[in-house]
Amino acid sequence: MTRARSIAAIVVAAGKGERASANGESLPKQYRSVHGIPVLTRTIKALLALPDVTFVQPVIHPDHADLYAGLGLDDERLLPPVMGGATRQSSVLEGLKALGRQRPDYVLIQDAARPFIGAELVAGVVAGLADHEGALPAVPVTDTIKRAPDGVNIVATEDRRVLFAAQTPQGFRYPQIFSAHMRASTLPREFTDDAAIAEWAGLRVALTPGNTSNIKITHPEDFARAERMIAGAQSMETRVGTGFDVHEFEPGDAVWLGGVRIPHTAKLKGHSDADVALHALTDAIYGALGEGDIGTHFPPSDPQWKGAASVIFLEHAAKLVAERGGRIVNLDATIVAESPKIAAHVPAMRQVIATACAITPSRVTIKATTSERLGFTGREEGIVAMASASIELPRVD
């Protein structure tokens, strides 16, 4: 039997984040929050969310031990932090040394400052290691790149078709990158990423698909960008629910349908006012919310709902949508009845329903049909209503 491949992730978080603090912000960027969650927490949790990652090794600045402890991170795959060095390169080396006990097969080296790593991107890096000694995610350069050694005078325009912007995590076979880093640490020069060290050491490094969302938070304005990205990711999703209800006739002089009292030769029998149309619509909204049905919220055994106006139920369902940060897109009901005739009452029903749901009547449709004298509705023993609701809710999973 082949042993499962072990993959460790090093998260380098020992930088001071000086560029991101250019606006006077004192907290190092990796401890600042984006949408309420510290950047470093996001990065570590994104890695821990990947089942193939066996260990995560954080590397922090010696002055940030309290800040790190304050994150309250706790996971059996999260190793205690080790202290980094004065450069990113030396911090990575400390992480590699710390993994000497685990000796993973692969190591992913990740910037703390890149909190938006996706599972697909990491899978691409790991897949790249099957036939290369290193793999890094990268995106094609989209700007035209000028070479200007003095920052003013252009000496060349690069061929951007062969240029790619490097991201992290960069993946390697652990023993090889450890050895390369050890040797590179004796050089007077500094490398800005681990792939550059691997290339220098003669390892074969592949490019794998990066993602433009995988930004490195570097400058103050990157926080606003990160906030916008999360707000975008937490976009609304459309949900649909259906409802169905039947009530039989009993002696009386009017029926309640769609929140409107319609004089008739009978009434509908029920614990509440027996408004089949509102019941079907209410259930449709509960269905779209995934919140049970009318019986869950208003048990028929509860005497307080005896004779209740069903518009209360509809208002409750609509309130739940609002409380979840959502909105009702449209409601559609069909009433099946030989009598009473519904058409003349439809505008009033739409208005009642729209008011109860705090939407415009244009989002409410009420249709009526007979069952061609077939079945219990055809024999005028009762009324059926069917409904559907379409709502938008913030996506949470």
Ligand X SMILES: C[C@](O)(CO)[C@H](O)COP(=O)(O)O
Ligand Y SMILES: Nc1ccn([C@@H]2O[C@H](COP(=O)(O)OP(=O)(O)OP(=O)(O)O)[C@@H](O)[C@H]2O)c(=O)n1
Q: Please tell me whether the peptide bond between 58 and the residue prior to it is cis, using omega within 30 degrees of 0.
A: no
Backbone angles phi, psi at 368, to 5 degrees: -135, 150
Instruction: By CB under 6 A, tell whether 15 contacts ligand Y.
Output: yes
Angle (nearest 5°) at CA 153 between 148 and 157: 50
Stretch that binds ligand X, among 42-50, 146-154, 160-168, 344-352 (CB under 6 A): 160-168
- Nearest approach, Cβ of residue 66 and ligand Y (Å): 16
List all residues 6 or more positions away from 222 whose beta carbon is below 8 Å from its beta carbon.
Answer: 20, 215, 216
Instruction: By CB under 6 A, tell whether 14 contacts ligand Y.
Output: yes
Tell me the sheet residues that pair with 366: 333
Q: Please tell me whether the peptide bond between 80 and the residue prior to it is cis, using omega within 30 degrees of 0.
A: no
Among 97, 216, 261, 316, binds ligand X (CB under 6 A): 216
- Annotation-wise, does 172 bind a ligand? no
Stretch that binds ligand Y, among 7-15, 226-234, 366-374, 385-393 (CB under 6 A): 7-15
- Nearest approach, Cβ of residue 141 and ligand X (Å): 12
- Nearest approach, Cβ of residue 223 and ligand X (Å): 16
* Count of residues in contact with ligand X, rule CB under 6 A: 8
* Count of residues in contact with ligand Y, rule CB under 6 A: 22
Taking the least distance from each CB to ligand Y, the nearer of 133 and 222 is: 222
Stretch that binds ligand X, among 47-55, 78-86, 162-170, 335-343 (CB under 6 A): 162-170
- CA distance linking residue 286 with residue 320, whole number of Å: 8
- Nearest approach, Cβ of residue 44 and ligand Y (Å): 11
Query: Burial level of 76, CB count in 10 A (0-12/13-18/19+)?
Result: exposed
82 close to 94: Cβ distance less than 8 angstroms: yes
Residue for token pair 């790593």: 117
Taking the least distance from each CB to ligand Y, the nearer of 190 and 253 is: 190
Element containing residue 8 per DSSP (H, E):
strand 7-13
120 close to 49: Cβ distance less than 8 angstroms: no
CA-to-CA separations, 50 to 95, 130, 134, 157, 253, in angstroms, rounded: 19, 18, 20, 41, 65
List all residues 6 or more positions away from 318 whose beta carbon is below 8 Å from its beta carbon.
Answer: 285, 328, 356, 357, 358, 359
Instruction: By CB under 6 A, tell whether 19 contacts ligand Y.
Output: yes
Contact mark string toward ligand X, 66..95, x via CB under 6 A = ----------------------x-------
Taking the least distance from each CB to ligand Y, the nearer of 20 and 262 is: 20
- Annotation-wise, does 294 bind a ligand? yes
Contact mark string toward ligand Y, 86..125, x via CB under 6 A = xxx--x-------------------xxx------------
- CA distance linking residue 265 with residue 282, whole number of Å: 26
- Annotation-wise, does 193 bind a ligand? no
245 close to 382: Cβ distance less than 8 angstroms: no
Stretch that binds ligand X, among 67-75, 161-169, 318-326, 351-359 (CB under 6 A): 161-169
Which of the choices ligand X, ligand Y, none does residue 168 contact, using the CB cut-off of 5 to 8 A by kind?
ligand X
Closest to 313 in 3D by CA, of 357, 282, 349? 282
Among 13, 195, 352, 359, binds ligand Y (CB under 6 A): 13
Binding site for ligand X (CB under 6 A): 88, 111, 166-168, 192-193, 216
Q: Which residues are annotated as a binding site?
A: 245-247, 271-272, 279, 293-295, 369-372, 376, 379
